[in-house]
Amino acid sequence: MPLRQKFDPQTRVLNIYGDLQDGSHSDGSVTVNSARALKYLVGSRAKSYQEVKFTGRQAQHSRLHHNRQVNRQLIKFLWGK
């Protein structure tokens, strides 16, 4: 918590997280609650803060970087396309 004062207020944040929807409320590695805690830590300091939730098998932690929908969100966030 004390370090959040050092968070650069010009930073734009895109928080992508997954939920397998298998009752674990997680992506297999990180719980949804833990992933969403980032907003509490830096959301009020960031220039902008966006959360995007992905669900299903392709939302598994190790598969997120292979998910086309995730890639589209990243491109939109980084390049506005």
Q: Which two tokens stand for residue 1?
A: 């918590």
Q: Tell me the pairing of strands 48-55 and 12-19.
A: parallel
HSE, side-chain direction, 13 A CA sphere, residue 21: 7
Instruction: Say what the pTM is.
Output: 0.90
Residues 6+ apart with CB under 8 A from 54: 16, 17, 18, 19, 64, 67, 69, 70
Greatest pairwise CA separation for the chain in angstroms: 37
Tens-digit pLDDT profile for the chain (81 aa)? 888 889 999 999 999 999 999 999 999 999 999 999 999 999 999 999 999 999 999 999 999 989 999 999 999 999 997
Tell me the β-bridge partners of 54: 18
